[in-house]
């Protein structure tokens, strides 16, 4: 079970959180202007990297806030968690 640092509440057990997919995918401002292919890309295409992954979590059984995390999908280690308004942390060496 992961230990996750909520930017508002601190370190908590994974049971309190819900993973919410890849981060920084912005909903198009005008979906109707999107082609079917562009829309499919927004809906479905994902980086799914082996390595550092920017992803969303929600402290659903806590403060309820969404936040972002930088986690390595090979080791499952977190480099950082950060709020939407925070600058994106650098990918570690």
Partner 1 sequence: MSQRFGLLSLAREALRGHRGWQPQWRSPERPRDAYDVVIVGGGGHGLATAYYLAKEHGLAGRVAVLEKGWIGGGNTGRNTTIIRSNYLFPESAALYDHAVKLWEGLSQDLDYNVMFSPRGVMMLAHNVHDVQSFRRHVHANRLDGVDNEWLTPAQAKAYCPPLDIDCARHPVLGAALQRRGGVARHDAVAWGYARAASALGVDIVQNCEVTGIDRDPATGAVTGLRTSKGAVRAGRIGVVAAGSTSLVMAMAGLRMPLESFPLQALVSEPVKPVFPCVVMSNTVHAYISQSDKGELVIGAGTDQYPSYSQAGGVQILTHTLEAICEMFPIFRRMRMLRSWGGIVDTTPDRSPIIGTTPVPGLFVNCGWGTGGFKATPGSGHVFAATIARGEPHPIAAPFSLERFTTGRLIDEAAAAAVAH
Partner 2 sequence: MSGRLPAGGRIDRTRPLRFTFDGRGYTGYAGDTLASALLANGVHLVGRSFKYHRPRGILSAGSEEPNALVEIDRGGGRREPNVRATMVPLVDGLVARSQNRWPSLRLDLASLAGLAAPLLPAGFYYKTFLGPGREAWHRRWEPLIRRMAGLGRAPDAPDPDRYANRYAHAEVLVIGAGPAGLDAAIAAAEQGGRVILCDEQAEMGGSLLADPAQWDRLAAMLATLRANPRVTLLPRTTAFHHGLQNFVSLAQVLDRPDGLRERLWQVRARRVVLATGAIERTIPFAGNDRPGVMLADAARTYAARYGVLPGRRVVASVAHDSGYDAAFTLQDAGETVAAILDLRADPARAAAAEARGITVLRGHGIVGTRGGLHVTGVRAAPLMEGGRPDPVRARDIACDLVLMAGGWTPTLHLLSQARGRLRWDEAADAFLPGDLPEGITCVGSCAGTEAGLPIRAIAAGAAPGAFIDHQNDVTAKDIALALREGFTSIEHVKRYTTNGMATDQGKTSNMLGLAVAAATLGRALPEVGLTTFRPPYTPVTFGTLAGRARGLDFEPIRRAPLHGWAEAQGAVFEPVGQWMRARYFPRAGEDMHAAVARECRAVRAAVGMLDASTLGKIEVTGPDAAEFLERTYVNAVHSLKPGRSRYALLLREDGFVFDDGIIARLAPDRFHVTTTTGGAARVLHMLEDYRQTEFPELRVWLTSTTEHWGVIALQGPRARDLLAPHVEGLDLSREAFPHMACGAARICGIPGLVFRASFTGELGFEVNVPAGHAPMVWERLWQDGQRLGVVAYGTEAMHVLRAEKGYVIVGQETDGTVTPDDLGYGWAIGKAKRDFVGKRSLARPDMQRTDRLQLVGLKPRDGRVPDEGAQLVVGEGPSQGHVTSAYDVAVLGLLRAGRSRMGETILATSLDGAPIPLEVVPPVFLDPKGERLHG
- Number of Cβ within a 10 Å radius of residue 78: 16
Contact 59, 67 (CB under 8 A): yes
64 near partner 2 (CB under 8 A): yes
| Nearest of 91, 84, 47 to residue 70 by alpha carbon | 91
In the complex, the residues that contact partner 2 under the rule CB under 8 A are: 1-3, 13, 18, 20, 27, 30-32, 34, 36, 39, 43, 56, 58, 60, 64-66, 75-77, 84
In the complex, the residues that contact partner 1 under the rule CB under 8 A are: 1-2, 14-15, 18-19, 21, 36-37, 40-41, 43-50, 53, 55, 71, 73-76
């Amino acid at each position: 079970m992961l230990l996750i640092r909520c930017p508002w509440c601190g370190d908590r057990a994974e049971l309190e959180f819900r993973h919410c997919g890849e981060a920084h995918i912005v909903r198009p401002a005008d979906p109707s202007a999107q082609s079917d292919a562009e829309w499919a890309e927004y809906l479905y295409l994902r980086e799914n990297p082996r390595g550092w992954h920017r992803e969303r979590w929600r402290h659903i059984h806590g403060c309820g806030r969404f936040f972002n995390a930088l986690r390595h999908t090979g080791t499952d280690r977190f480099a950082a968690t950060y709020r939407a308004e925070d600058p994106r942390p650098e990918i570690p060496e």
